[in-house]
C-alpha cells in the first residue's frame, strides 16, 4: 500500500450536546462541554491510520496547553510527530461544535496556528505513489504549494474542498486544476456550480459528492455513479465526512478503483456516526471489514 500524506489542520474540539439546534438569537441549554482532538486534517490522518495506511500528518499547533494535548493525542494514535510544527505565541486551533439529539451538528472554527502553516513545512515531503490529502482549514496557498509538489514527485492529490473560500478565489481555481480526486458535500457542490459530473470541468480527474445518510455520487471520465448508503442508528455525525475522506484515501493508496474506494468510504463514515465524537468514533480496519462482511451477508440472506 502507498503512503497517505495529510497536510491540514489540527484543532481542539469543544462539543456541547443540545436537544435541538438554536435559532438565530436563541439560547438553548446544553450538556457539559466535552473536549477532544479534531481538525479536518488531523481527523482524516487518524482515520487513514486506523484503517491501516502508513500515514503522515503535516500540521501547525500553538505553544499552549491545547497544542500539548493534541500532540499527546496524536502520539497515542501512533502517528509520527516529526512534521508537526509549533508556532510560538499563537493559539492552537479550536472548533466549537453543537450536536443536536438527532446527530446533526453546527461547527465554528477559530483557525489559530492552522492559519500559519506554510510551505516551509513541505520540504522533502513527497515520494512517488503517495496519496496527498488536503482540506481548506489551512491557507489556500499552502494547499496549492503542497499539491504542486506532490504532483511533481509523482504523488496523487485528493482535495476535500471544505470549508470553501469566498467565490472567485484565484488560488482555489488553480488548486482544482492540479487535483486528482475532489470530494465535496451537497452544499459545497452547489457553491462550485453543479453535480459531480459538472464539477469535472474545474479540472479534477474524478469528483465525489457526499450525500450524508443518502450515500454518495461519483463521476469521472467514464460517467457518474450512485453509491447507496449504509443504514445505521446515528448518534453523532461529527467527523463522518472526515472518516469518509480518510477511508477513500486509504482505498486509493491500496490500489482499488474509485467505486470500491467510495463504497468503503461510505461504510466507514456510517460506522463513525454510531459513536460520539470525531476521532474517538473512527473505525479500525478490522471493524470496517466486519461491517462490510455483515452487510454483504445480510444482502444475500
**pLDDT for residue 206 is more than 70:** yes
The pTM score is 0.93
82 is catalytic: no
pLDDT of 190? 94
Do 291 and 283 touch, CB atoms closer than 8 A? yes
Range name among 42-56, 70-84, 129-143, 283-297 with the lowest pLDDT average: 283-297
Domain boundaries, the chain: 4-10+40-60+78-86+116-299
Range name among 27-31, 227-231, 255-259 with the lowest pLDDT average: 27-31
* pLDDT tens-digit series, residues 48-63: 999 999 999 999 999 9
Mean pLDDT in residue range 177-190: 96
pLDDT of 298? 74
Confidence of residue 301 (pLDDT cuts 50, 70, 90): low
Q: What is the grid cell recorded at 31?
A: 450538556
pLDDT of 297? 76
**How many whole angstroms separate alpha carbon 71 and alpha carbon 73?**
6
- 229-263 burial, b if ≥16 CB within 10 A, otherwise e? ebeeebbbbbbbbbbbbbbbbbbbbbeeebeebbb
Q: What's the whole-number average pLDDT of the chain? A: 94
Mean pLDDT in residue range 266-287: 94
pLDDT of 186? 95
Confidence of residue 104 (pLDDT cuts 50, 70, 90): confident
Catalytic residue of the set 13, 130, 236, 242: 242
Protein fold of 4-10+40-60+78-86+116-299: 3.40.1190
In angstroms and rounded to an integer, the radius of gyration of the C-alpha atoms of the chain is 18
Amino acid at each position: 500500500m502507498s503512503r497517505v500524506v495529510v497536510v491540514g489542520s489540527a484543532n481542539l474540539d469543544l462539543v456541547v450536546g443540545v436537544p435541538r439546534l438554536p435559532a438565530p438569537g436563541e439560547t438553548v441549554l446544553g450538556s457539559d462541554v466535552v473536549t477532544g482532538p479534531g481538525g479536518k486534517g488531523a481527523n482524516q490522518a487518524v482515520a487513514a491510520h486506523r484503517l491501516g495506511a502508513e500515514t503522515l500528518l503535516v500540521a501547525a499547533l500553538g505553544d499552549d496547553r491545547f497544542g500539548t494535548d493534541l500532540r499527546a493525542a496524536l502520539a497515542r494514535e501512533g502517528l509520527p510527530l516529526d512534521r508537526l510544527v509549533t508556532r510560538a505565541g499563537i493559539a492552537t486551533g479550536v472548533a466549537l461544535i453543537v450536536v443536536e439529539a438527532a446527530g446533526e451538528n453546527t461547527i465554528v472554527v477559530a483557525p489559530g496556528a492552522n492559519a500559519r502553516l506554510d510551505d516551509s513545512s513541505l520540504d522533502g515531503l513527497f515520494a512517488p505513489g503517495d496519496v496527498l490529502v488536503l482540506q481548506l482549514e489551512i491557507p489556500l496557498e499552502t494547499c496549492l504549494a503542497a499539491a504542486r509538489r506532490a504532483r511533481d514527485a509523482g504523488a496523487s492529490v485528493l482535495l476535500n474542498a471544505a470549508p470553501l473560500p469566498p467565490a472567485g478565489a484565484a488560488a482555489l481555481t488553480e488548486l482544482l486544476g492540479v487535483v486528482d480526486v475532489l470530494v465535496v458535500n451537497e452544499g459545497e457542490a452547489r457553491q462550485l456550480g453543479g453535480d459531480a459530473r459538472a464539477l469535472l470541468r474545474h479540472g479534477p480527474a474524478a469528483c465525489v459528492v457526499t450525500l450524508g445518510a443518502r450515500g454518495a455520487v461519483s463521476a469521472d471520465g467514464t460517467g457518474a455513479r450512485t453509491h447507496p448508503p449504509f443504514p445505521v442508528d446515528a448518534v453523532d455525525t461529527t467527523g463522518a465526512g472526515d472518516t469518509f475522506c480518510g477511508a477513500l484515501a486509504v482505498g486509493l493508496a491500496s490500489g482499488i478503483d474509485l467505486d470500491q474506494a467510495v463504497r468503503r468510504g461510505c461504510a466507514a463514515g456510517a460506522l463513525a456516526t454510531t459513536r460520539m465524537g470525531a476521532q474517538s468514533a473512527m473505525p479500525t480496519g478490522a471493524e470496517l471489514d466486519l461491517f462490510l462482511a455483515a452487510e454483504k451477508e445480510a444482502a444475500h440472506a
